[in-house]
A and B are shown apart, each in its own frame.
Chain A
Amino acid sequence: AQTVTQSQPEMSVQEAETVTLSCTYDTSESDYYLFWYKQPPSRQMILVIRQEAYKQQNATENRFSVNFQKAAKSFSLKISDSQLGDAAMYFCAAKSGGGADGLTFGKGTHLIIQP
């Protein structure tokens, strides 16, 4: 079983600036995956980025990157050059193993983009 903690209920950033969303997790598994999902007002859940725990290299997807600190059990999301369309709820999630297990989500961070 995993637990996922997001300590920032809300964050605000100026358009074009960089923002970092925090996430910590706890797991007894040696093989696990970490994810960031975006949920805009439409409530559609959109995968932003994923990280395999066995990979040391931090995942990157265009303006989105993670800082994966395995020993500290930390998995933060950095959004560079913030855009108005980035405004949404962001959820950190964890999944054990490579099989079809369910996701454990954090409570989410509401990201506001100031024009």
Chain B
Amino acid sequence: DAGVIQSPRHEVTEMGQEVTLRCKPISGHNSLFWYRQTMMRGLELLIYFNNNVPIDDSGMPEDRFSAKMPNASFSTLKIQPSEPRDSAVYFCASSYPGQQQFFGPGTRLTVL
């Protein structure tokens, strides 16, 4: 199994641009999580899905952030418009319900 796949691994963009981060969960896992890691705030849960349905998006910082899971094998996290304070490492993780979460390698986002 390839594990959780995230793309791109690195993204550099300019303020105001739209950014789309992508995640492919481990096949068969029906829970998917998006986390953000910054020096100031540490690791924070942004949103998670069960069976492709968003369950808790209370961690999404503001309306500029949106996440979708159109099918069991793909999810996106979109930031529009991006701001320098969005610079962080974004992790996707997947699991069977109640089981260990497996993390992807993360996407390092830099907004200039």
Interface residue ranges, A against B (CB under 8 Å): 42-45, 47, 50, 91, 93, 97-108
Q: A45-B91, A98-B98, A99-B98 are in contact. Are A91 and B43 (CB under 8 A)?
A: yes
A103-B43 Cα distance, complex, nearest whole Å: 9
Within 8 A of A (CB), among B44-80: 44-45, 48, 50, 55-56, 59
Q: A102-B33, A102-B48, A105-B43 are in contact. Are A43 and B100 (CB under 8 A)?
A: no
Given known contacts A93-B43, A102-B35, what 4 new A-B pairs fall within 8 Å (CB)?
A101-B56, A102-B33, A102-B56, A105-B43
A99-B45 Cα distance, complex, nearest whole Å: 16
Q: Which residue of B lies closest to A50 (CB)?
A: B100
Residues from chain A with Cβ under 8 Å of B103 in the complex: 44-45
Q: Which residue of B lies closest to A106 (CB)?
A: B42
A59-B106 Cα distance, complex, nearest whole Å: 28
A37-B97 Cα distance, complex, nearest whole Å: 19
Within 8 A of A (CB), among B73-112: 89, 91, 93, 95-98, 100-101, 103, 105-106, 108
Residues from chain B with Cβ under 8 Å of A43 in the complex: 89, 105-106, 108
- Please name the 3 residue pairs, one residue from A and one from B, whose CB atoms are nearest each other, closest first: A102-B45, A100-B31, A45-B103
Q: Decide: B97 and A105 in contact? CB cutoff 8 A.
A: no
Residues from chain B with Cβ under 8 Å of A105 in the complex: 42-44
A8 → chain B closest CB, angstroms: 14
Residues from chain A with Cβ under 8 Å of B31 in the complex: 100
Q: Which residue of B lies closest to A47 (CB)?
A: B100
A44 → chain B closest CB, angstroms: 6
Q: Decide: A103 and B45 in contact? CB cutoff 8 A.
A: yes
A104-B42 Cα distance, complex, nearest whole Å: 10
A105-B103 Cα distance, complex, nearest whole Å: 14
A34 → chain B closest CB, angstroms: 13
Residues from chain A with Cβ under 8 Å of B35 in the complex: 102-103
Q: A45-B91, A47-B100 are in contact. Are A100 and B45 (CB under 8 A)?
A: no
Q: Decide: B95 and A104 in contact? CB cutoff 8 A.
A: no
A44-B105 Cα distance, complex, nearest whole Å: 5
Q: Out of B48, B89, B105, which one reaches A100, CB within 8 Å?
A: B48
